[in-house]
Amino acid sequence: MVVEDDENLRVAVAAQLHATGLDVDTADDIAAAHRAVRDQDYDCVVFDRMLPDGDAIGYVHAQRQLGWSAPVLFLTARDSLADRIAGFEHGGDDYLVKPFAVAELTERVVNLCRRAGVDRPTVLRHDDLVMDCARREVRRDGVLLTLSNKEFAVLEYLLGRAEHTVRRADLIEHCWDTQTDPMSNVVDVVVKRLRRKLREPELIHTVRGIGYRLGAA
């Protein structure tokens, strides 16, 4: 999640992170960020320090005291050594001074996301389907498949819950951002493409009125 009150910067950063395959939520103040982190587990949160309703390091420090462990990167124009140290002392994992290169921010966020996911399995398997999450490679019966970032995300979510029914709403929540219309057909479009790329015998089955299940027919 990106928490930034400058709309142009917020949109630009979110777009760049999207382009790397990450799903991004955004907020423009601490109150909105708090509502989001209360309901969602994030692999990384990027906080502008000076927000309309306060300095984010105070919020992060308070949340750390309650056991919140999501990696945090602080963005700020405050570039003194004392400010940077305060960021780390109050629970920050990284600190980037404005102005910054969006490409550098992206690399820092990706690294923090990897840190958050260290306990996740790096390889998922079901029958002849193998997904190497670290290398972002998918093979079926030994054949390497070419998937888009969104197709990879949907397949990873289904594969991690193989033989269980997954609701369309859960796929939207975990593989798209909060701006996605839950009534749209984005999930159906991606699943249709995945079925075609995975070939026969079919692995992804529609559970009428609910969602999808990856597994045997």
Q: How confident is the model at residue 2 (pLDDT cuts 50, 70, 90)?
A: very high
Looking at the chain, the number of H-run helices and the number of E-run strands are 8, 14
* pLDDT, tens digit, 9 for 90 and up, residues 7-32: 999 998 988 887 777 888 999 999 99
CA distance 148 to 194: 10
The domains located in the chain, with CATH, are 2-116 (3.40.50.2300), 123-214 (1.10.10.10)
Alpha helices in the chain (DSSP H): 7-19, 30-39, 56-65, 81-89, 102-116, 149-159, 168-175, 186-198
User: Which of 100-104, 162-166, 170-174, 180-184 is predicted most confidently?
Assistant: 162-166
Residue pair 76/50 in contact (Cβ under 8 Å)? The answer is yes
CA distance 90 to 24: 24
The whole-angstrom distance between residue 210's C-alpha and the CA centroid of its chain comes to: 24
Instruction: Using a cut of 0.85, tell me whether the model's pTM lies above it.
Output: no
* pLDDT, tens digit, 9 for 90 and up, residues 157-179: 899 888 999 888 888 877 775 55
